[in-house]
Amino acid sequence: MNRGPFIFLGVFLFLSLTWTLVINKAIQQTGNLSPAYDESQGGVLPRGIVGAAAQGKIVYQELGCIACHTQQVRVATGSDIDRGWGARQSVARDYIDDQPALIGTIRLGPDLTNVGQRRPDDQWHLLHFYNPQITSKGTNMPAFPFLFEVREIVGEASDRGLDLPEEFAVAEGYEVVPTRKAEALVAYMKSLKTDYDLEEAPKSNEAMSEELTIALENAN
């Protein structure tokens, strides 16, 4: 161990070995997936994020929402399915359009894989971003007032203005209007839904046993 090159080669060898056999092997094995095609479920799956939702994804990344929210559903452990966070396991194919991937590692707040299905209402999201205490009292999610504009009502009030409850209302004659960033973020939230099935994706244990029962009955 008295020679630098020996240590260098050893470290290099070990790192390359584990990297090649695990990380690179995994990427080669399942890291080049193409979208699935299923006519009955509306064509190409996953559907991809486009338009305003794609802009919203940039806002999500910029504000670091990933510091508290994951976007993955587990079936084997945890209570993700029971909580209604999703209907099936998230699999690699769900993320092939996700660049950069926002899978996340920590849940200080709920998982957002299917938030678009759970919360289809624009107004709910806008209120939630303006001040989460309006929609989820007691949460520790920060408010994002800087995504909104408080402005004087000149003439007719904007149709996009927030419908604030009384204790959060702004001064008389003023209104709270979402900026483009807030609108985009809402579009992104609403686009987050795994409302399609993939062959390889395990569903909940109950769903799988039901399918199995049906398959067995058909076989008989």
Give residues 86-125 in contact with another protein (rule: CB under 8 A). Answer: 89-92, 94-103, 105-110
Under rule CB under 8 A, residue 179 binds another protein: no
E-strand stretches of 58-199:
148-152, 174-178
Kindly write out the interface string for residues 118-157 of this chain, putting x where it contacts another protein by CB under 8 A and - elsewhere: --------------x---xxxxxxxxxxxx----------
- 117: helix, strand or coil: helix
CB of 119 to another protein, least distance (A): 13
CB of 166 to another protein, least distance (A): 19
Q: What tokens were used for 23?
A: 């990380």
* Total of chain residues touching another protein, rule CB under 8 A: 73
Residues of span 34-93 touching another protein by CB under 8 A: 61-68, 70, 72, 74-79, 82-83, 89-92
The contacts of residue 118 (CB under 8 Å, 6+ apart) are 84
Cβ-based nearer residue to another protein, 64 or 155: 64
Cβ-based nearer residue to another protein, 76 or 219: 76
- Measured CA to CA, the distance from residue 123 to residue 183 in angstroms comes to 10
For residue 159, the number of C-alpha atoms closer than 13 Å in the C-beta half-sphere is 0
Under rule CB under 8 A, residue 171 binds another protein: no
CB of 52 to another protein, least distance (A): 18
Report whether the peptide linkage leading into residue 145 is cis, meaning its omega lies within 30 degrees of zero: no
CB of 179 to another protein, least distance (A): 11
Residues 126, 182 contacting (CB under 8 angstroms): yes
CB of 29 to another protein, least distance (A): 6
Cβ-based nearer residue to another protein, 34 or 218: 34
Q: Where does the chain have alpha helices with state H?
A: 4-18, 25-30, 52-62, 115-118, 122-130, 132-135, 180-191, 205-219
DSSP, res 48: -
Under rule CB under 8 A, residue 203 binds another protein: no
Residue type at position 9: L
